[in-house]
Amino acid sequence: MREWLTERAIDVAELLAAVAADGNGGTVVFLGTVRRSAEDGDVEAIEYSAYREMAEPELGRIVAEALAQWPGARIVLQHRLGVVPTGEASLVIAAAAPHRADAYAASRFVIEETKRRAPIWKKERLASGRARWVEGRPAGGER
């Protein structure tokens, strides 16, 4: 059973190796990274927390749904928890398939469903030392 959550910095090469196969014609890697923009103020890091016991199976269900829609695809992901500094990846998805169209589609499906369903929250840590919860989106069940 693959581990979808980690407290460590995500190793992109490890995820690429996990989907590598002779039959792959295209591999898409998505990195969701912590950004700092003018309207966010001095965000130095984001602290991610999760309902771990549900996030693991929910991420597993999302990947299983993608594999059912795009048979022949190989998909892995890791979401990082804890404090993630600006510029570093909070989420990496690697999706490979015999044809690139499926790799792109599967990757897109997984990121959109993860954002919609994963019971994960984030708190901004500002340069001032303050911290504030980021307003999320209402969590959805399966479509």
Partner 1 sequence: MPDIRVQVRLFASYAEAAGRDRMDVVLRAGATAADCLAAVRAAPWAQRVPPGPALAINRRYARGDAPLHDGDEVALIPPVAGG
For residue 92, state whether it binds partner 1 (rule: CB under 8 A). no
Closer CB to partner 1, 5 or 73, in the complex: 5
Phi-psi region of 134 (alpha: psi -120 to 50; beta: other; left: phi over 0): beta
Find the shortest distance in angstroms from Cβ 106 to partner 1.
15
From CA 45, how far away is CA 51, in angstroms rounded? 20
DSSP code for 130: -
For residue 31, state whether it binds partner 1 (rule: CB under 8 A). no
For residue 95, state whether it binds partner 1 (rule: CB under 8 A). no
Q: Which residues are bridge partners to 84 per DSSP?
A: 46
Between strands 82-85 and 43-50, the pairing is antiparallel
Among 99, 100, 108, 116, binds partner 1 (CB under 8 A): 116
For residue 53, state whether it binds partner 1 (rule: CB under 8 A). yes
| Neighbour tally for 88: CB within 10 Å | 15
Stretch that binds partner 1, among 14-22, 37-45, 98-106, 121-129 (CB under 8 A): 121-129
Stretch that binds partner 1, among 9-17, 20-28, 42-50, 94-102 (CB under 8 A): 42-50
For residue 118, state whether it binds partner 1 (rule: CB under 8 A). yes
From CA 25, how far away is CA 35, in angstroms rounded? 31
For residue 135, state whether it binds partner 1 (rule: CB under 8 A). yes
Ramachandran angles phi, psi of 87, nearest 5° = 95, -20
DSSP code for 142: -
Stretch that binds partner 1, among 18-26, 67-75, 97-105, 116-124 (CB under 8 A): 116-124
For residue 86, state whether it binds partner 1 (rule: CB under 8 A). no
